[in-house]
Amino acid sequence: MSKIFIRTFRVRWSELDASGNVSPANFLRYLVETAYDWGDALGLGPNSDEALGLFWLIRETEIHFLRPLHHNDVFDFTIWMVNWQRVRGTRCFELTLKESGEVVAQGSQHIVCMDIKTQRPASPPEHIINNFRIESPRVFPFERFPKIPASAAAQVTARQVEWRDLDALEHVNNAVYVSFAEEAAALDFATRGWPAAKLAGQSLIISARRVHIQYLSPAVWGEALSISTHPLTVSETGGSRYVGLTRADGSSVAECILDWELLDRETGSARSLPEALRD
């Protein structure tokens, strides 16, 4: 089995968001599915992990979106390991359309191996990790998550973790945090006078161009989360915003940066921000 692993997907209708494109959270779900199949093929799949007493935590993910995915698009998801040092490593990934080879998205992810019993970082067997090592792997530029100061202008909403938000490890699935961030962004646009219905009425959509998320501590069922968001930058056709998720005691759960662009709903081309939205 190749150390550079490829899985093919077809976009299902249920994976589209209100814009008619695959949502950023579903890109992360494709990533998780591919990573588990890759691990299974090379000796670190779910069954092997259980036998070894290990599980994996995602610490940071950055993904750049180069073009949208639509219903019934068929694409290849390619994943490979960049490096591994004792208990942590980095993997890169790329999505390309099956027929044309056009790049859809690409990014990097940092993971940590954990011991099931101690809940502490642990080293997987070296002979299995060697199954994943490749010489001179292709690497995408990756920025460590920046320190974002608090903003008095942040919009804050509350959310309780529901059963449907959890994965098999009984904590909030990493893709769900991105859904939380998208919801917070949509609410912020709405309070600034640009709800989804108004954007649709003007044939506009707000499209994600990059998601950079840092996972700090897992949230579990029933926990009350405070989700704050505020703009970081604004350009002629888009901008960047911060979303922070904390518990009632102030401890951090996750932080996310969303880069976005205003697009024409029909053509997909960039549109200049209306003055009211820019303000």
Residues of the chain with pLDDT under 70: 1
pTM over 0.85: yes
pLDDT on residue 152: 83
Dihedral angle computed from the Cα positions of residues 115, 119, 121 and 125, in that order, rounded to the nearest 10 degrees: 0
Rounded CA-CA distance 228/252 in Å is 11
Only one residue has tokens 């909403």, namely 157
**Interval 126-142: pLDDT, tens:** 999 999 999 999 999 88
Q: Report the alpha-carbon angle 205-26-132, nearest 5.
A: 135
CATH hierarchy code of domain 145-279: 3.10.129.10
The pLDDT value given to residue 1: 58
Residue pair 137/78 in contact (Cβ under 8 Å)? The answer is: no
Q: Which residues contact 224 (CB under 8 A, 6 or more apart)?
A: 158, 159, 160, 161, 247, 248
Say whether 145-279 and 1-144 share the same fold.
yes
CATH of region 1-144:
3.10.129.10
- The residues near 51 (Cβ < 8 Å, ≥ 6 apart) are none
> What is the pLDDT, as a whole number, of residue 2?
76
Q: Which residues contact 46 (CB under 8 A, 6 or more apart)?
A: 36, 39, 40
**Domain ranges for the chain:** 1-144, 145-279
Cα(249)–Cα(66) distance, integer angstroms: 38
Instruction: State residue 45's pLDDT score.
Output: 83
Give the pLDDT of residue 50. Answer: 85
Tens of pLDDT, residue by residue over 164-200, are 999 988 999 999 999 999 999 999 999 989 998 999 9
